[in-house]
Chain A
Amino acid sequence: MGQVVLKGINKFYESVHAVKDVNLQIRDKEFVVFVGPSGCGKTTTLRMIAGLEAISSGDISIDGNVINALAPMDRDIAMVFQNYALYPHMSVYDNMAFGLKMRKFERREIEKRVREAADILGIGELLKRKPRQLSGGQRQRVALGRAIVRHPRVFLFDEPLSNLDAKLRVQMRVELKKLHLRLGTTAIYVTHDQVEAMTLGDRVVVMKDGVVQQVGEPLELYNQPANKFVAGFIGSPAMNFATVTVTEADGSLIAENSGLRIKLPDEIAQRLRGHVGREVILGVRPEDLTVASSADLDHPCFDAVIEVVEQLGSEILLDMKVGESNMVASVEPTARVRVADKLRVAMRRSRLHVFDAQTEAAI
């Protein structure tokens, strides 16, 4: 079992309020990812769960038992650190066996568990080596192995892939996912990389300035972001935003600013009745913008000038000037476009997002 509950968790560092009233229920066997920019409190939260930071207020419980006052060793958790934190003077075997030795396991049991973990991770050949004789990826596996052998109730990961090169990171990401499917241990994972969050997490917790912005399944965050921050943080390239004023004309709602004037589709217009005459923020993802054709007549369209064309092979990113602001569109690789081209761009009407200009919450 490994059900983790955070209830009203706060963390103060002298005058800094680093984590603000975090409430979260993590189910057994779930893979939960904390994501956010640096300084958002995600690592602090993880370290409070680990017992490496004191909890200023609130309760953390595992399987119903409050663990606030327990030392890290008594919480039945295992942690993988960003810099691996392998013991440099010990062999790979001793690194993995250390936790079991400290807990006075029998030698035969230790050996069995270390071999088992080494087989799962494919590091059986490296057991006699010292950490500095290993590559980054191998060290990462040893760090994972050290966590696995303990058979803990919860795995804690603190940006475990951020020190690997891009290619290895993708590979280890897949392996982590497989490992979780195989072991089924509850995992709490901290990262600043939204791609890692989306691909690894059963659920993702987006944090900013110590506050949880939204908790949800990856696609839920992508499709229904709770606010402008989540909308901009999840997805790459990031969502385009435009501040527009809502006006009424001929019974329908119009959103306009200096370079944009679009008729809002009915489903959005309904939600914006109360905002007529006020400013709102319009959001649209680059992949929901297309070069307008005759088939797009019922979608909102606007004019743009291409400033930069980024060929990615599988898609083309267009950096466009729309009035005085900039927007990015991701279009089909077959599109024939050149810098300085004037385009008519269509927004997929069902994929428009609207946020309150003051609170930035989704409308």
Chain B
Amino acid sequence: MAISAVSATTLREAPPPRRQRLLEDERWLAFVLLVPTIVLLGMFIAYPFIRGILLSVTSSRVGMPGDFVGLANFYKIFNDGIFRTSVYNTFVYTGVTTVFKLALGLWLAMLLNRNFRGKAFTRAFILLPFIIPTVLSTFAWKWMFDPTFSVLNWLLYHFGLITGRINWLGDPDLAMISIIVVNIWRGVPFFAISLLAGLQTISPELNEAAAIDGAKPWQRFWHITWPLLLPVTMVVVLFSVIQTFADFQIVYVMTGGGPANATHLFATYAYQIAIGTGLLSEGAAIALAMFPVLFLVVIIQLLYIRRVEVR
């Protein structure tokens, strides 16, 4: 007994290996655990971002490293008419689609929040536009807007609403409307499902209490549902604004920025300049011009969300 007790004590007092001792220290352990995240974020977010900034202040093209030129690229794009159109387009595109996506998404969410037969199926079905790869669904839309094969023209013609063909993607304004429609179609499911999730966290008893308190349906929406849904709404709008502002696929597939550069957004114009014409540094400058705007949007909305959650 005595012997085993002694040996146990000596075992306990034997110092653990050095490596193990370092990990006992919480600061070291935390660092070690954070390393994978730091490496991933650094490699795929911080490095490309910094590289973009460095690129935008040079005169590099495809195959030419170029020299430092200061803000010359930014100066150039701000005097570029197409760039200005792209900025204007991006704001219109983001603004109009967000309003429609929110309105339609909320309406759909309220409908889906009711009890009806086939509820689960319908809810899953609603997500389809969101699930289908954007490029594929946009190609389908491109056919629907095609001046010759357009099913829209066919319908309008057969209902007697038009006599000639409408060249949807050939007219600057109609082309803009067309891509806005496609973006709304694609974005509504995300709003509907997210807002539906938000609606389901609101106890139905609150609406019943309000009904007994004398609130009419729209008053119940305005005084109960809307304020309680606001934090979720803000997050959904935030995500959607960021995505729409930097949208690329729909415009690239539908119009390629045309006709006559009338429907370019930041992303498609940056692509056209950087990859299409090889002016890498100028393209980087265009892409970076989005950053201050998006940064501001994120800051404002995050502050607002925090205020809503605190109260």
Whether B311 lies near A98 (C-beta < 8 A) is: no
CB 8 Å contact bits of A70-102 with B (1 = contact, 0 = none): 011100011101110101110000000011001
Residues of chain A with a CB closer than 8 A to B206's CB? 85, 87-88
Q: Is the interface of B mostly helix, strand, loop or mixed?
A: helix
Q: Is B10 an interface residue (CB 8 A)?
A: no
Question: Which stretch in B71-79, B221-229, B297-305 binds the other chain?
Answer: B221-229
Residues of B near A72 (CB, < 8 A) are 208, 211-212
Kindly list chain B residues whose C-beta atoms are within 8 Å of the C-beta of A146. Answer: 209, 213
A102 to B210, CA, bound (A): 9
Q: Identify the A interface with B (CB < 8 A).
A: 50-52, 71-73, 77-79, 81-83, 85, 87-89, 98-99, 102-103, 130, 146, 150
Please indicate the chain A residues that have their CB under 8 angstroms from the CB of B208 in the complex. 50, 52, 72, 79, 81, 85
Q: Is B203 an interface residue (CB 8 A)?
A: yes
**Bound Cα distance A89, B205 (Å):** 15
Chain B residue nearest to A50 (CB atoms) is B212
Distance in Å from the Cβ of A85 to the closest Cβ of chain B?
Answer: 4
Cα of A82 to Cα of B213 in the assembled complex, Å = 16
List 16 extra interface pairs beyond A50-B208, A50-B212, A72-B212, CB under 8 A.
A51-B212, A52-B208, A73-B213, A77-B212, A79-B209, A81-B209, A83-B203, A85-B203, A85-B206, A98-B210, A98-B223, A99-B213, A102-B213, A146-B209, A146-B213, A150-B213
Say whether A73 contacts B215, CB under 8 Å: yes
Q: Are B205 and A83 in contact (CB under 8 A)?
A: yes
Interface residues of B in 289-311 (CB under 8 A from A): 311
Q: How large is the interface on B (under 10, 10 to 19, 20 to 34, 35 or more residues)?
A: 10 to 19
With a CB–CB cut-off of 8 A, which chain B residues contact A79? Answer: 208-209, 212
Q: Which residues in A have their C-beta under 8 angstroms from that of B200?
A: none
Check if B223 sits within 8 Å of A73, measured CB to CB: no
B228 in contact with A73 (CB, 8 Å):
no
Contacts of A150 in B (CB 8 A): 213
Task: Kindly list chain A residues whose C-beta atoms are within 8 Å of the C-beta of B228.
Answer: 88-89
**Nearest 3 pairs between A and B by C-beta?**
A99-B213, A85-B205, A102-B214
A-B contact pairs, 21 of them (CB 8 A): A50-B212, A51-B212, A52-B212, A71-B211, A72-B211, A73-B211, A73-B212, A73-B214, A77-B212, A78-B212, A81-B205, A81-B208, A85-B209, A87-B223, A89-B228, A98-B215, A98-B223, A99-B212, A102-B210, A130-B311, A146-B209
Task: Note all chain A residues with C-beta closer than 8 A to B213.
Answer: 73, 98-99, 102, 146, 150
Is residue B219 within 8 Å, beta carbon to beta carbon, of the partner chain? yes
> For window 168-217 of chain B, which residues contact chain A by CB distance below 8 Å?
203, 205-206, 208-216
Tell me how far the C-beta of A84 lies from the nearest C-beta in chain B, rounded to whole angstroms.
8
A199 vs chain B, min Cβ distance (A)? 26
Chain A residue numbers with a CB within 8 Å of B216 are: 73
Given contacts A83-B203, A87-B206, are A102 and B215 in contact (CB under 8 A)? yes
Please give, as numbers and ranges, the residues of chain B lying within 8 Å of A78 by CB-CB distance: 212
CB distance from A155 to the nearest CB of B (A): 11
The interface centre, meaning the residue of B211, B228, B311 with most chain A CB atoms within 10 A of its CB, is B211
Q: For A87, give its contact among B212, B219, B224, B311 (CB under 8 Å).
A: B224
A287 to chain B, nearest CB (A): 39
Bound: A197/B153 CA distance, A: 70
